[in-house]
Amino acid sequence: MKRALVALLFAGAAVLGTAAPAAAHNALISSDPKDKASLEAGPSTVTLTFDQDVQGGQGINTISVVDANGGHYEVPGDPTIKDNAVTAKVNALGKAGEYKIGYRILSADGHPVSGELTFTLTKDGTGTPTTPANADASAGDSGSDGGLPIWVWIVGAVVLLGGGVFFALRAGGGAKA
Ligand SMILES: [Cu+2]
């Protein structure tokens, strides 16, 4: 009986141990400009707000503003971090059309989180793109573990819990005999 309890405790610890890291990633909760906004004039800054503090540091966090041809408009350099908000300066935009805001930030739990928003410029701007010297950290790059959906963790936890119960039942039966 004691052995069965130990097995159940192990199963429970495994569930907590696997579920916690997935829940601890920062999540984007708001942005300025808003995702899918239509703007007559390009924004002078992009601010992304997360549910937890973003970790600072040189070259760690990036925000990019990219036109349909891949031209960059963010001012090169590190974005400004204030607690859970990250702000990048943006140069004057070019032609009217869809622009992508790409981001990659360091979560409070130490994992990178990346994503993408879009907005539409409805009137031509006066700017021309500049492409930063460092690598493009915008669209598509989902980070080392940022893309793992929550159901993977849940299935893993259920499998571990099932294994623990099976072991507990077996151990209990063996002790009786
Ligand atoms: Cu994490």
Task: Give CATH for domain 25-137.
Answer: 2.60.40.1220
**pLDDT of residue 152 exceeding 80:** no
Cα separation, 128 vs 58, whole angstroms: 26
Q: How far is the CA of 96 from the centre of ligand 1 (A)?
A: 37
Q: How far is the CA of 24 from the centre of ligand 1 (A)?
A: 5
Model confidence over 75-110: pLDDT tens digits?
Answer: 999 999 999 999 999 999 999 999 999 999 999 999
**pLDDT of residue 63 exceeding 90:** yes
User: Which residue carries 């299935």 as its tokens?
Assistant: 155
Q: How far is the CA of 12 from the centre of ligand 1 (A)?
A: 20
Cα separation, 5 vs 68, whole angstroms: 59
The pLDDT score that the predictor gives to residue 160 is: 74
pLDDT category, 133, cuts 50, 70, 90? very low
Max distance between CA atoms of the chain, in angstroms, equals 84
Cα separation, 172 vs 86, whole angstroms: 55
Q: How far is the CA of 107 from the centre of ligand 1 (A)?
A: 7
Q: For a pLDDT cut of 90, what percent of the chain falls above it?
A: 58
Average pLDDT, the chain: 82
The residue type of 81 is: I
Q: How far is the CA of 64 from the centre of ligand 1 (A)?
A: 22
The pLDDT score that the predictor gives to residue 7 is: 65
Q: How far is the CA of 67 from the centre of ligand 1 (A)?
A: 30
**pLDDT of residue 14 exceeding 50:** yes
